[in-house]
Amino acid sequence: PAAPPPRGSADAAVRDRRRAYFGDEVVADIVDRSKLPGGAVVTGPAIIEEPAGTTVVWPGQSVEVASNGSLMLRVFAKEDSR
């Protein structure tokens, strides 16, 4: 049997993967928000679904679940390619 995901892991909340358009077509994780524990980090591209709404996590962004259940979106700056 597979080991359970580590505490704070988003692995158990990923219920599917599907193609999505983020400027280009990519494969994004489809995440069940009700299964995200505190401390979990979801890295884009991902779509976090819940009955009251959807959170879109673009490539280059991540979402961390706070201990109170809030989602904290982080955007990473692209390196200057000049």
pLDDT digits (tens, 9 = 90+) for 6-55: 567 888 899 999 999 999 999 999 999 999 999 999 999 999 999 999 99
pLDDT, position 8: 72
pLDDT: is 19 or 75 the higher one?
Answer: 19
Going by C-alpha positions, the residue among 1, 47, 7 that lies closest to residue 26 is 47
Beta bridge partners of 72: 64
What's the pTM value of the predicted model, to 2 decimals?
A: 0.82
